[in-house]
Structure 1
Amino acid sequence: MERTFAMLKPGVLQRRIVGEIISRLEKKGFQIVGLKMIQLTKGLAQEHYKEHLDKDFYPGMEKYITSGPVVLLVLKGINSVQILRSIVGPTFSPEAPSGTIRGDYGFSMRNIIHASDSVESAEREISIYFKDEEIIEYNDNNREWID
């Protein structure tokens, strides 16, 4: 079992599809162990996307990610990083295949969801947004059906 991190970006809230996205994650078998909604500050955006600060696209990405609230999730499951990345789809939404979250809901370079790209990135990103006591481990009886 491993944990991964997902962020539903402002477009998800503006389009009122938060429930649909979370439902897809739950139906896939992820256990939600952390969940909250916040407004990203410029500082949090810079910390989260520190590897992109010097790239041409960063100013627009920062403007978008700080334009409204985001929903943050800590998800737990077997190979959770790889599986989440698979169901989220490629970064460029117009190229994402149908059946992926970006393919079904995205229509521009403005991504609607962020998913950690490695276990290390997931742990770093989780630590940016969640205190240890905000992640709640609990017995998930669904495990017997999906393991």
Structure 2
Amino acid sequence: MATNRTFTMIKPDAVENGHTGAILEKINAAGFRIVAMKKTHMTKRDAETFYAIHKERPFFGELVEFMTGGPIVAAILEKENAVEDFRTLIGATNPAEAAEGTIRKLYATSIGENAVHGSDSNENAEIEGNFHFAGREMF
């Protein structure tokens, strides 16, 4: 069953490069409603916990360093079929393979610095959203 909510982060590269507004505009134009949003800075512990699934991967250290290198914008989005529709909107992890007009095609610079995170399942959307937001922060 499709959920109506998903989680996203505008990553440090896109925030630093001034793409936050343009990315949020694309999200709104695609029919998503922002249920919760904040600009924050992940600590090393936050990043290690959030990306624990990748702990044994060779890129884990670089990922943690990248995600703690600057502020992020975390958001919970709402729309029918939110997870799948958002994954389509952001495009492939590798911006060179992303479809024209997708967020990653427009704003990512590499596989590692790919501008935005999007939950890959309904279950992870809930886990990731709850990691960044308390219930009282979601409207």
TM range, normalised to the smaller chain?
over 0.9
Number of equivalenced pairs: 136
State the 1:2 CA deviation. 1.1
The answer to whether the Cα contact below 8 Å between 2:50 and 2:128 also exists between their aligned partners in 1 is yes
Higher alpha-carbon Rg? 1
Task: List, as ranges, runs of 4+ consecutive aligned residues in structure 1 with deviation greater than 6 Å.
Answer: none
Partner of 2:61: 59
Match of 1:25 among 24, 27, 41: 27
TM-score by length of 1: 0.90
Partner of 2:124: 121
TM-score by length of 2: 0.95
* Percentage identity across paired residues of the two chains: 35
Cα distance in 2 for residues equivalent to 1:107 and 1:11: 8
State the 1:94 CA deviation. 2.0
Cα deviations across residues 7-55 of structure 1 (Å, max 9, x unaligned)?
0001111111100000000000001010001100111111111110110
List alignment gaps of at least 5 residues for structure 1.
137-147
Cα distance in 1 for residues equivalent to 2:83 and 2:68: 25
Partner of 2:41: 39
C-alpha root-mean-square deviation of aligned residues, in Å?
A: 0.9
Cα distance in 1 for residues equivalent to 2:37 and 2:136: 12
SS at match of 1:71: strand
Cα distance in 2 for residues equivalent to 1:8 and 1:107: 13
**Quick check: 127-136 or 41-50, which moved more?**
41-50
Cα distance in 1 for residues equivalent to 2:127 and 2:49: 10
**Quick check: 96-105 or 117-126, which moved more?**
96-105
**Quick check: 42-51 or 80-89, which moved more?**
42-51
Partner of 1:130: 133
Cα deviations across residues 97-121 of structure 1 (Å, max 9, x unaligned)?
2211101111212111000001100
List alignment gaps of at least 5 residues for structure 2.
none
- Map residues 79-90 of structure 1 onto 2, 5 A cutoff: 79-90=81-92
